[in-house]
Structure 1
Amino acid sequence: MQEIKEPYKLLEFKEYGDERGNLVVAEGSGFDIPFDIRRVFYMSGSDPDIRRGMHANRYTKFVLINVSGSSKVLVDDGHKKEIVVLDKPRMGLYLGPMVWKEMYDFSPDSVLLVLASEHYIDSEYLRDYDEFIEEVKKGEN
């Protein structure tokens, strides 16, 4: 897989199935996931009206995969906003650096898996939307 230039992009992983069930494969290190995976976490048990995320990251890249159930993701690169529905385990949402993200409308069986390019570093998080927009504007100059 080549480096992704877009701030966010839907990815489709290989899925194999037979009478035993389905197997979805997502390999890291530039194969299916366009980065080395340094951190993995997942969200479950969130009510549909709860909003998660609500931040941007200065340099961490992410891939979000709803391995069970569904959720919606509001993505905002500072210029345009889009809502992406994650409802298939073979679908991933790549989020590059400086993308505001809000996950919500979780189904009762939702398990949202997140693959990250970096370990957790609190100082790279932008948790205030206005601050995020200001940094986007500064980056354009």
Structure 2
Amino acid sequence: MTFAVQRVFWTYYTPDNILRGRHAHRATEHVLLAVAGRIIVTVESAAGALQVFRLESPHVGLYVPPNVWHTMQYSPGAVQLALASLPFAEEDYIREYDEFKAVWGAGGGS
């Protein structure tokens, strides 16, 4: 791990037709793990590069750095464990995609 864990949280009982996440963080780093089920994580870098990851094993985590737009879709019964580098702070979140692109797009924060 590249950071000391300051926050741990779970996501569970998420219907498979719901797209979660849909935000970026200004400073917080995360490692996401699927401790049960399958989680499809889509990340978009500040430069616009898209990557899709399939988490299906509690032994494999996905590092999500700051300034990356990310979404998650869960299989029925999926449970996600998230490890974060900072405590929760609403001001760390960028919740609007247009704001993410304005702040980090075109090399704004990379």
Q: Does the alignment reach a TM-score above 0.5?
A: yes
Measured in 2, the distance between the counterparts of 1:130 and 1:71 equals 25
Measured in 2, the distance between the counterparts of 1:139 and 1:90 equals 32
Q: Which runs of 5+ in 2 are unaligned?
A: none
* 1:71 equivalent in alignment to 2:45: no
* 1:120 equivalent in alignment to 2:88: yes
SS in 1 for 2:109: helix
* Greater relative contact order (CA < 8 Å, ≥ 6 in sequence): 2
Q: Which runs of 5+ in 1 are unaligned?
A: 1-32
SS in 1 for 2:43: strand
Equivalent position of 1:87 in the other structure: 56
SS in 2 for 1:139: coil
Cα shift at 1:124: 1.4
Measured in 1, the distance between the counterparts of 2:96 and 2:9 equals 22
Aligned residues: 107
Measured in 1, the distance between the counterparts of 2:99 and 2:76 equals 33
Equivalent position of 2:10 in the other structure: 42
Report the structure number with the largest CA radius of gyration. 1
Cα shift at 1:139: 2.2
Cα offsets for 1:22-74 (capped at 9, x unmatched): xxxxxxxxxxx221000000101111110111100000000000011111011
1:1-141 paired onto structure 2 within 5 Å? 33-78=1-46, 79-104=48-73, 106-136=74-104, 137=106, 138-140=108-110
Identity across the alignment (%): 37
TM-score by length of 2: 0.92
Q: State the one-letter code of the partner of 1:113.
A: L
Q: State the one-letter code of the partner of 2:89.
A: I
